Structure 1
Amino acid sequence: PEKTLVDMYLKPLAEEVRTHGGTVYGTKQEVILLVDIKANGKEAYEQLQKDLKPFHSFLSRFRRGRTVQRAVKVILSGDRPIQEVAAQKERFVFIDGRTENLGGDPNLYPLISESFLPRFKYLGTGAFGDADSKTLTDFVRKAHASRQLVRFWATPETPTMWSILFDHKVDLIGTDKQTDLASFLSSKLKLKR
Protein backbone atom coordinates (compact mmCIF):
# COMPACT_ATOMS: atom_id res chain seq x y z
CA PRO A 1 0.00 0.00 0.00
CA GLU A 2 0.95 3.62 -0.42
CA LYS A 3 2.31 5.38 2.65
CA THR A 4 -0.76 7.50 3.26
CA LEU A 5 -3.06 7.83 6.22
CA VAL A 6 -5.84 6.25 4.18
CA ASP A 7 -3.87 3.21 3.00
CA MET A 8 -1.81 2.57 6.12
CA TYR A 9 -4.44 3.25 8.79
CA LEU A 10 -7.98 4.06 7.70
CA LYS A 11 -8.51 1.20 5.24
CA PRO A 12 -7.07 -1.44 7.61
CA LEU A 13 -9.15 -0.04 10.47
CA ALA A 14 -12.25 -0.14 8.26
CA GLU A 15 -11.55 -3.80 7.52
CA GLU A 16 -11.17 -4.59 11.24
CA VAL A 17 -14.44 -2.78 11.99
CA ARG A 18 -16.20 -4.82 9.29
CA THR A 19 -14.66 -8.06 10.56
CA HIS A 20 -15.57 -7.40 14.20
CA GLY A 21 -19.12 -6.13 13.79
CA GLY A 22 -18.57 -2.42 14.27
CA THR A 23 -15.52 -2.42 16.54
CA VAL A 24 -11.80 -2.76 15.97
CA TYR A 25 -11.11 -5.60 18.41
CA GLY A 26 -14.55 -7.08 18.97
CA THR A 27 -14.97 -5.13 22.22
CA LYS A 28 -16.61 -1.81 22.96
CA GLN A 29 -13.17 -0.26 23.48
CA GLU A 30 -12.70 2.81 21.31
CA VAL A 31 -9.38 2.93 19.47
CA ILE A 32 -7.49 6.22 19.31
CA LEU A 33 -5.87 7.18 16.02
CA LEU A 34 -3.41 9.92 16.96
CA VAL A 35 -2.55 11.98 13.88
CA ASP A 36 0.62 14.03 14.35
CA ILE A 37 0.49 17.02 12.00
CA LYS A 38 4.08 18.12 11.48
CA ALA A 39 3.39 21.50 9.82
CA ASN A 40 0.68 23.61 8.16
CA GLY A 41 -2.06 22.42 10.48
CA LYS A 42 -4.90 24.30 8.82
CA GLU A 43 -4.06 23.03 5.33
CA ALA A 44 -3.39 19.52 6.59
CA TYR A 45 -6.77 19.52 8.33
CA GLU A 46 -8.54 20.50 5.12
CA GLN A 47 -7.02 17.44 3.42
CA LEU A 48 -7.67 15.24 6.44
CA GLN A 49 -11.37 16.07 6.38
CA LYS A 50 -11.51 14.82 2.78
CA ASP A 51 -9.56 11.67 3.69
CA LEU A 52 -11.85 10.89 6.63
CA LYS A 53 -15.14 11.36 4.79
CA PRO A 54 -15.46 7.78 3.42
CA PHE A 55 -14.86 6.44 6.94
CA HIS A 56 -17.36 8.51 8.93
CA SER A 57 -19.47 5.45 9.76
CA PHE A 58 -16.94 4.15 12.28
CA LEU A 59 -15.41 7.42 13.50
CA SER A 60 -16.35 9.02 16.80
CA ARG A 61 -17.82 12.44 16.24
CA PHE A 62 -18.80 15.65 17.95
CA ARG A 63 -22.39 16.52 17.16
CA ARG A 64 -25.09 18.62 18.82
CA GLY A 65 -22.82 19.56 21.70
CA ARG A 66 -21.68 16.07 22.64
CA THR A 67 -19.33 13.30 21.62
CA VAL A 68 -20.84 10.23 19.98
CA GLN A 69 -18.52 7.28 20.45
CA ARG A 70 -17.79 4.91 17.59
CA ALA A 71 -14.99 2.42 16.96
CA VAL A 72 -12.19 4.94 16.28
CA LYS A 73 -11.50 8.41 17.68
CA VAL A 74 -9.19 10.59 15.57
CA ILE A 75 -7.15 12.99 17.70
CA LEU A 76 -4.94 15.65 16.14
CA SER A 77 -1.54 16.34 17.66
CA GLY A 78 1.43 18.44 16.62
CA ASP A 79 0.51 21.55 14.61
CA ARG A 80 -3.11 21.34 15.74
CA PRO A 81 -5.71 23.51 13.96
CA ILE A 82 -7.49 24.23 17.24
CA GLN A 83 -9.61 27.20 16.15
CA GLU A 84 -10.81 25.50 12.98
CA VAL A 85 -11.76 22.30 14.82
CA ALA A 86 -13.39 24.11 17.75
CA ALA A 87 -15.53 26.21 15.40
CA GLN A 88 -17.18 23.19 13.78
CA LYS A 89 -20.64 22.20 14.99
CA GLU A 90 -20.12 18.67 13.69
CA ARG A 91 -16.70 17.09 13.31
CA PHE A 92 -14.90 13.76 13.22
CA VAL A 93 -11.70 14.82 14.96
CA PHE A 94 -10.64 15.95 18.41
CA ILE A 95 -7.62 17.84 19.71
CA ASP A 96 -4.69 16.52 21.71
CA GLY A 97 -4.67 18.99 24.60
CA ARG A 98 -1.81 20.30 26.68
CA THR A 99 -1.54 21.13 30.37
CA GLU A 100 -3.44 24.40 29.88
CA ASN A 101 -6.39 22.29 28.63
CA LEU A 102 -6.35 20.00 31.67
CA GLY A 103 -9.83 20.13 33.15
CA GLY A 104 -11.17 21.69 29.95
CA ASP A 105 -13.84 20.43 27.58
CA PRO A 106 -13.35 16.70 26.90
CA ASN A 107 -15.49 17.08 23.76
CA LEU A 108 -12.64 19.09 22.27
CA TYR A 109 -9.67 17.88 24.34
CA PRO A 110 -10.30 14.21 25.24
CA LEU A 111 -6.56 13.60 25.61
CA ILE A 112 -4.00 15.66 27.51
CA SER A 113 -0.43 15.08 26.35
CA GLU A 114 2.67 16.59 27.84
CA SER A 115 6.42 16.15 27.74
CA PHE A 116 7.60 14.11 30.71
CA LEU A 117 11.05 15.56 31.27
CA PRO A 118 10.47 19.19 32.23
CA ARG A 119 7.63 18.23 34.57
CA PHE A 120 9.40 15.37 36.40
CA LYS A 121 12.90 14.86 37.77
CA TYR A 122 12.95 11.11 37.17
CA LEU A 123 15.32 10.08 34.37
CA GLY A 124 14.55 6.37 34.22
CA THR A 125 16.79 4.90 36.90
CA GLY A 126 16.47 4.63 40.64
CA ALA A 127 13.37 5.38 42.64
CA PHE A 128 10.49 7.51 41.40
CA GLY A 129 10.47 10.21 44.07
CA ASP A 130 7.53 11.11 46.28
CA ALA A 131 7.24 14.60 44.77
CA ASP A 132 7.14 13.17 41.24
CA SER A 133 4.62 10.55 42.32
CA LYS A 134 2.35 13.19 43.84
CA THR A 135 2.62 15.41 40.76
CA LEU A 136 1.77 12.50 38.47
CA THR A 137 -1.10 11.30 40.67
CA ASP A 138 -2.61 14.79 40.85
CA PHE A 139 -2.27 15.32 37.09
CA VAL A 140 -3.97 12.02 36.25
CA ARG A 141 -6.74 12.53 38.83
CA LYS A 142 -7.56 15.98 37.50
CA ALA A 143 -7.68 14.70 33.92
CA HIS A 144 -9.82 11.70 34.80
CA ALA A 145 -12.21 13.87 36.83
CA SER A 146 -12.74 15.85 33.61
CA ARG A 147 -13.16 12.70 31.48
CA GLN A 148 -9.79 13.26 29.80
CA LEU A 149 -7.11 10.70 29.06
CA VAL A 150 -3.41 11.26 29.82
CA ARG A 151 -0.30 10.64 27.73
CA PHE A 152 3.31 11.73 28.20
CA TRP A 153 5.97 11.86 25.54
CA ALA A 154 9.75 11.81 26.05
CA THR A 155 9.50 9.21 28.80
CA PRO A 156 12.39 6.84 29.44
CA GLU A 157 11.85 3.68 27.35
CA THR A 158 12.15 1.14 30.16
CA PRO A 159 9.88 -1.39 31.86
CA THR A 160 10.47 0.52 35.11
CA MET A 161 9.07 3.69 33.55
CA TRP A 162 6.18 1.81 31.98
CA SER A 163 5.38 0.32 35.37
CA ILE A 164 5.34 3.78 36.96
CA LEU A 165 2.99 5.08 34.26
CA PHE A 166 0.78 1.99 34.47
CA ASP A 167 0.60 2.07 38.26
CA HIS A 168 -0.28 5.78 38.21
CA LYS A 169 -3.11 5.07 35.74
CA VAL A 170 -1.65 6.98 32.79
CA ASP A 171 -3.96 5.99 29.94
CA LEU A 172 -1.61 5.90 26.95
CA ILE A 173 2.02 4.81 26.98
CA GLY A 174 3.97 5.77 23.90
CA THR A 175 7.02 3.83 22.80
CA ASP A 176 9.24 2.91 19.90
CA LYS A 177 9.63 -0.52 21.52
CA GLN A 178 6.16 -1.86 20.71
CA THR A 179 6.99 -5.55 21.17
CA ASP A 180 8.61 -4.94 24.55
CA LEU A 181 5.72 -2.77 25.73
CA ALA A 182 3.18 -5.35 24.53
CA SER A 183 4.95 -8.07 26.55
CA PHE A 184 5.14 -5.79 29.58
CA LEU A 185 1.44 -4.89 29.41
CA SER A 186 0.44 -8.50 28.85
CA SER A 187 2.29 -9.58 31.99
CA LYS A 188 0.90 -6.64 34.02
CA LEU A 189 -2.66 -7.42 32.97
CA LYS A 190 -2.24 -11.12 33.81
CA LEU A 191 -1.07 -10.16 37.30
CA LYS A 192 -4.16 -7.98 37.84
CA ARG A 193 -6.56 -10.88 37.16
Structure 2
Amino acid sequence: MKIRNIFILLLPGIIMMQGSHWLHAQSLTLRGHSHNDYERERPFFSAWENRLGSIEADIWAVDSVLYVAHDREEVTPGITLWSLYLNPVIELYTANHGKAWSEDNGSFQLLIDLKSPVVPTLDLLVEVLLPYPQVFDRDINPGAVEIVISGSRPAPDDFKKYPEFIRFDGNIGETYSLQQLERISLLSASFSDFSNWNGEGALPLADRRKLQRIVDETHQLGKKVRFWGAPDTENAWAQFMDLGIDFINTDKPAQFAAFCFKK
Protein backbone atom coordinates (compact mmCIF):
# COMPACT_ATOMS: atom_id res chain seq x y z
CA MET A 1 0.00 0.00 0.00
CA LYS A 2 1.35 3.43 -0.93
CA ILE A 3 2.36 5.84 1.86
CA ARG A 4 -0.23 8.36 0.61
CA ASN A 5 -3.03 5.80 0.94
CA ILE A 6 -1.88 4.83 4.43
CA PHE A 7 -1.99 8.50 5.45
CA ILE A 8 -5.52 8.82 4.08
CA LEU A 9 -6.60 5.81 6.15
CA LEU A 10 -4.97 7.20 9.29
CA LEU A 11 -6.19 10.78 8.89
CA PRO A 12 -9.70 10.30 10.42
CA GLY A 13 -8.14 8.70 13.49
CA ILE A 14 -5.61 11.50 13.80
CA ILE A 15 -8.40 14.08 13.59
CA MET A 16 -10.42 12.21 16.22
CA MET A 17 -7.37 12.06 18.54
CA GLN A 18 -6.77 15.78 18.11
CA GLY A 19 -10.43 16.54 18.75
CA SER A 20 -10.45 14.32 21.82
CA HIS A 21 -7.35 16.03 23.20
CA TRP A 22 -8.90 19.44 22.55
CA LEU A 23 -12.07 18.53 24.44
CA HIS A 24 -10.04 17.08 27.32
CA ALA A 25 -7.96 20.26 27.55
CA GLN A 26 -11.08 22.42 27.52
CA SER A 27 -12.55 20.41 30.37
CA LEU A 28 -9.38 21.14 32.34
CA THR A 29 -9.32 24.88 31.64
CA LEU A 30 -12.83 25.11 33.09
CA ARG A 31 -11.29 24.13 36.43
CA GLY A 32 -9.31 27.37 36.53
CA HIS A 33 -10.42 30.14 38.91
CA SER A 34 -9.16 33.59 37.94
CA HIS A 35 -8.34 34.93 41.40
CA ASN A 36 -8.84 38.70 41.78
CA ASP A 37 -9.49 38.80 38.06
CA TYR A 38 -9.88 42.59 38.03
CA GLU A 39 -6.12 42.86 38.63
CA ARG A 40 -5.42 41.37 35.17
CA GLU A 41 -4.31 43.68 32.39
CA ARG A 42 -7.54 42.75 30.61
CA PRO A 43 -10.15 41.97 33.28
CA PHE A 44 -12.68 39.29 32.33
CA PHE A 45 -11.35 38.82 28.79
CA SER A 46 -8.08 37.12 29.77
CA ALA A 47 -10.01 34.50 31.74
CA TRP A 48 -12.80 34.16 29.18
CA GLU A 49 -10.46 33.80 26.18
CA ASN A 50 -8.60 31.05 28.03
CA ARG A 51 -11.89 29.33 28.96
CA LEU A 52 -11.49 29.46 32.74
CA GLY A 53 -14.59 28.22 34.50
CA SER A 54 -14.55 30.68 37.39
CA ILE A 55 -13.87 34.42 37.51
CA GLU A 56 -13.60 36.46 40.71
CA ALA A 57 -14.51 40.11 41.23
CA ASP A 58 -14.49 42.02 44.54
CA ILE A 59 -17.13 44.73 44.81
CA TRP A 60 -17.95 47.71 47.02
CA ALA A 61 -21.31 49.47 47.13
CA VAL A 62 -20.68 53.24 47.24
CA ASP A 63 -23.56 55.68 46.69
CA SER A 64 -25.63 52.85 45.16
CA VAL A 65 -22.94 52.03 42.57
CA LEU A 66 -21.10 48.68 42.56
CA TYR A 67 -17.39 49.36 42.17
CA VAL A 68 -14.70 46.73 41.60
CA ALA A 69 -11.77 47.02 44.02
CA HIS A 70 -10.01 45.02 46.70
CA ASP A 71 -9.93 47.82 49.29
CA ARG A 72 -12.27 50.75 49.85
CA GLU A 73 -9.52 53.31 49.15
CA GLU A 74 -8.97 51.72 45.72
CA VAL A 75 -12.51 52.50 44.54
CA THR A 76 -12.17 54.48 41.29
CA PRO A 77 -14.84 56.27 39.24
CA GLY A 78 -15.74 54.22 36.18
CA ILE A 79 -14.21 50.98 37.47
CA THR A 80 -17.51 49.25 38.14
CA LEU A 81 -18.91 45.75 38.07
CA TRP A 82 -21.06 46.80 35.14
CA SER A 83 -18.21 48.17 33.00
CA LEU A 84 -15.65 45.44 33.72
CA TYR A 85 -17.91 42.38 33.85
CA LEU A 86 -21.67 42.58 33.47
CA ASN A 87 -21.83 44.62 30.28
CA PRO A 88 -19.13 42.60 28.45
CA VAL A 89 -20.82 39.35 29.51
CA ILE A 90 -24.25 40.53 28.35
CA GLU A 91 -22.79 41.61 25.00
CA LEU A 92 -21.08 38.23 24.56
CA TYR A 93 -24.23 36.28 25.37
CA THR A 94 -26.18 38.41 22.92
CA ALA A 95 -23.61 37.82 20.17
CA ASN A 96 -23.37 34.08 20.95
CA HIS A 97 -27.16 33.55 21.17
CA GLY A 98 -27.23 32.75 24.87
CA LYS A 99 -23.86 31.01 25.16
CA ALA A 100 -20.57 31.86 26.84
CA TRP A 101 -18.56 30.50 23.90
CA SER A 102 -20.07 30.19 20.45
CA GLU A 103 -18.40 26.86 19.64
CA ASP A 104 -19.79 24.81 22.53
CA ASN A 105 -22.14 24.74 25.52
CA GLY A 106 -19.59 25.37 28.27
CA SER A 107 -20.13 28.18 30.76
CA PHE A 108 -18.53 29.74 33.83
CA GLN A 109 -19.30 31.10 37.25
CA LEU A 110 -18.81 34.72 38.31
CA LEU A 111 -17.70 34.62 41.93
CA ILE A 112 -18.60 38.01 43.36
CA ASP A 113 -16.88 38.79 46.65
CA LEU A 114 -18.90 41.39 48.55
CA LYS A 115 -16.50 43.67 50.38
CA SER A 116 -19.11 46.10 51.69
CA PRO A 117 -21.96 44.89 53.94
CA VAL A 118 -24.41 42.43 52.44
CA VAL A 119 -27.13 45.06 52.85
CA PRO A 120 -27.39 46.97 50.58
CA THR A 121 -24.66 45.43 48.35
CA LEU A 122 -26.44 42.20 47.47
CA ASP A 123 -29.78 43.97 46.93
CA LEU A 124 -28.10 46.36 44.48
CA LEU A 125 -26.53 43.43 42.66
CA VAL A 126 -29.83 41.58 42.35
CA GLU A 127 -31.45 44.73 40.98
CA VAL A 128 -28.80 45.00 38.26
CA LEU A 129 -28.99 41.31 37.28
CA LEU A 130 -32.77 40.78 37.24
CA PRO A 131 -33.39 42.27 33.76
CA TYR A 132 -31.06 39.67 32.17
CA PRO A 133 -32.36 36.19 33.05
CA GLN A 134 -31.06 34.69 29.79
CA VAL A 135 -27.55 35.66 30.87
CA PHE A 136 -27.59 35.10 34.64
CA ASP A 137 -30.36 32.61 35.45
CA ARG A 138 -29.66 28.92 34.75
CA ASP A 139 -33.32 28.03 35.31
CA ILE A 140 -34.08 30.13 32.23
CA ASN A 141 -30.93 29.32 30.24
CA PRO A 142 -28.89 26.26 31.35
CA GLY A 143 -25.81 27.84 29.77
CA ALA A 144 -26.13 31.09 31.71
CA VAL A 145 -23.39 32.47 33.93
CA GLU A 146 -23.72 31.21 37.50
CA ILE A 147 -23.64 34.04 40.04
CA VAL A 148 -21.96 32.91 43.26
CA ILE A 149 -21.70 35.23 46.27
CA SER A 150 -18.67 35.17 48.55
CA GLY A 151 -17.27 37.57 51.14
CA SER A 152 -20.04 39.40 52.98
CA ARG A 153 -22.84 36.85 52.76
CA PRO A 154 -26.23 36.72 54.44
CA ALA A 155 -26.72 34.24 57.25
CA PRO A 156 -27.41 30.80 55.75
CA ASP A 157 -31.02 30.95 56.98
CA ASP A 158 -31.45 34.08 54.87
CA PHE A 159 -30.22 32.55 51.59
CA LYS A 160 -33.86 31.87 50.70
CA LYS A 161 -34.67 35.58 50.79
CA TYR A 162 -32.79 36.09 47.54
CA PRO A 163 -33.76 34.99 44.02
CA GLU A 164 -32.95 31.39 43.11
CA PHE A 165 -30.32 32.40 40.55
CA ILE A 166 -28.21 33.86 43.36
CA ARG A 167 -25.94 31.10 44.65
CA PHE A 168 -23.51 31.15 47.55
CA ASP A 169 -19.94 30.16 48.38
CA GLY A 170 -20.01 28.09 51.56
CA ASN A 171 -17.27 27.55 54.13
CA ILE A 172 -15.50 24.21 54.44
CA GLY A 173 -16.07 22.93 57.95
CA GLU A 174 -19.35 24.76 58.48
CA THR A 175 -22.52 22.72 58.90
CA TYR A 176 -25.48 23.56 56.66
CA SER A 177 -29.03 22.27 56.54
CA LEU A 178 -30.24 20.53 53.41
CA GLN A 179 -32.27 23.60 52.49
CA GLN A 180 -29.22 25.84 52.87
CA LEU A 181 -27.05 23.46 50.84
CA GLU A 182 -29.47 23.77 47.94
CA ARG A 183 -28.35 27.38 47.55
CA ILE A 184 -24.62 26.66 47.86
CA SER A 185 -22.60 26.00 44.70
CA LEU A 186 -19.20 25.35 46.20
CA LEU A 187 -17.34 25.15 49.49
CA SER A 188 -14.12 27.09 50.00
CA ALA A 189 -11.33 27.51 52.55
CA SER A 190 -7.85 28.92 52.87
CA PHE A 191 -5.24 26.44 51.71
CA SER A 192 -3.06 27.48 54.66
CA ASP A 193 -5.66 26.00 57.04
CA PHE A 194 -4.55 22.57 55.86
CA SER A 195 -1.03 22.87 54.51
CA ASN A 196 2.07 25.07 54.42
CA TRP A 197 3.26 23.52 51.15
CA ASN A 198 4.86 26.04 48.77
CA GLY A 199 4.07 24.20 45.54
CA GLU A 200 7.54 22.72 45.03
CA GLY A 201 8.13 18.98 44.92
CA ALA A 202 5.48 16.59 46.14
CA LEU A 203 2.63 17.65 48.38
CA PRO A 204 3.40 16.12 51.81
CA LEU A 205 1.50 12.87 52.24
CA ALA A 206 -0.24 13.92 55.47
CA ASP A 207 -1.45 17.15 53.84
CA ARG A 208 -2.52 15.28 50.73
CA ARG A 209 -4.65 12.93 52.82
CA LYS A 210 -6.31 15.86 54.62
CA LEU A 211 -7.09 17.62 51.35
CA GLN A 212 -8.32 14.43 49.69
CA ARG A 213 -10.69 13.79 52.59
CA ILE A 214 -12.13 17.31 52.25
CA VAL A 215 -12.52 16.97 48.48
CA ASP A 216 -14.25 13.60 48.83
CA GLU A 217 -16.59 14.81 51.57
CA THR A 218 -17.49 17.91 49.56
CA HIS A 219 -18.21 15.84 46.46
CA GLN A 220 -20.40 13.52 48.52
CA LEU A 221 -22.52 16.58 49.26
CA GLY A 222 -22.77 17.22 45.53
CA LYS A 223 -20.73 20.43 45.78
CA LYS A 224 -17.53 21.72 44.22
CA VAL A 225 -14.47 22.69 46.23
CA ARG A 226 -11.94 25.53 46.08
CA PHE A 227 -8.92 26.49 48.19
CA TRP A 228 -7.82 30.11 48.09
CA GLY A 229 -4.27 31.22 48.82
CA ALA A 230 -2.92 27.99 47.30
CA PRO A 231 0.41 27.66 45.47
CA ASP A 232 0.12 28.89 41.89
CA THR A 233 2.59 26.75 39.92
CA GLU A 234 2.31 24.07 37.23
CA ASN A 235 3.52 21.49 39.71
CA ALA A 236 0.81 22.51 42.16
CA TRP A 237 -1.91 22.63 39.46
CA ALA A 238 -1.09 19.06 38.42
CA GLN A 239 -1.34 17.74 41.96
CA PHE A 240 -4.52 19.70 42.69
CA MET A 241 -6.10 18.21 39.57
CA ASP A 242 -5.12 14.74 40.73
CA LEU A 243 -6.83 15.45 44.06
CA GLY A 244 -10.03 16.35 42.23
CA ILE A 245 -10.12 20.01 43.34
CA ASP A 246 -12.80 21.56 41.15
CA PHE A 247 -11.65 25.18 40.99
CA ILE A 248 -7.92 25.87 41.09
CA ASN A 249 -6.90 29.39 42.06
CA THR A 250 -4.57 31.12 39.63
CA ASP A 251 -3.31 34.59 38.82
CA LYS A 252 -2.05 33.29 35.45
CA PRO A 253 -5.01 32.44 33.19
CA ALA A 254 -2.99 32.09 29.97
CA GLN A 255 -0.30 29.93 31.59
CA PHE A 256 -2.95 27.79 33.25
CA ALA A 257 -4.68 27.19 29.92
CA ALA A 258 -1.39 26.39 28.19
CA PHE A 259 -0.64 23.87 30.95
CA CYS A 260 -4.02 22.21 30.42
CA PHE A 261 -3.36 21.79 26.70
CA LYS A 262 -0.05 20.09 27.50
CA LYS A 263 -1.71 17.45 29.70
**TM-score, normalization by structure 2:** 0.62
Rg bigger for which structure? 2
- Once the two structures are TM-superposed, the CA of residue 75 in structure 1 deviates from its matched residue by 0.4
Q: Is the 8 A contact 1:140 1:168 kept in 2?
A: yes
Aligned position for 2:150:
77
Q: Is the 8 A contact 1:110 1:148 kept in 2?
A: yes
Aligned position for 2:161:
88
- Once the two structures are TM-superposed, the CA of residue 158 in structure 1 deviates from its matched residue by 1.2
Aligned position for 1:191:
none
Q: CA RMSD in A?
A: 2.5
Task: Trace 1:136-151 onto structure 2 (pairs within 5 A).
Answer: 136-151=211-226
- Note the alpha carbon deviations across 1:97-138, whole angstroms, 9 max, x for none: 111347764421111111001212422223212222222222
Find the aligned partners of 2:260 and 2:176 in 1 and give their Cα distance.
28
- Residues 5, 85 of structure 1: alpha-carbon distance in 2 compared, 3 angstrom cutoff: farther
* Residue identity in the other structure for 2:78: E
Find the aligned partners of 1:102 and 1:22 in 2 and give their Cα distance.
36
**TM-score, normalization by structure 1:** 0.83
> RCO greater where, 1 or 2, for CA within 8 Å and sep 6 or more?
2
Q: Is the 8 A contact 1:61 1:91 kept in 2?
A: no
- Note the alpha carbon deviations across 1:17-71, whole angstroms, 9 max, x for none: 2222322024333310000111212211111111112222222357xxxx98441
Find the aligned partners of 1:161 and 1:119 in 2 and give their Cα distance.
15
Find the aligned partners of 2:128 and 2:239 in 1 and give their Cα distance.
37
126-135 or 34-43, which deviates more: 126-135
Aligned position for 1:125:
200
Q: Is the 8 A contact 2:172 2:189 kept in 1?
A: yes
Query: Which 5+ residue runs of structure 1 have no aligned equivalent?
Result: 189-193
Among the aligned pairs, what percent are the same residue?
29
Aligned position for 2:56:
none
Match of 1:57 among 127, 130, 134: 134
- Once the two structures are TM-superposed, the CA of residue 6 in structure 1 deviates from its matched residue by 1.7
98-107 or 27-36, which deviates more: 98-107
Q: Is the 8 A contact 1:102 1:142 kept in 2?
A: no
Find the aligned partners of 2:238 and 2:177 in 1 and give their Cα distance.
28
Find the aligned partners of 1:16 and 1:38 in 2 and give their Cα distance.
27
Q: Does the alignment pair 1:25 with 2:98?
A: no
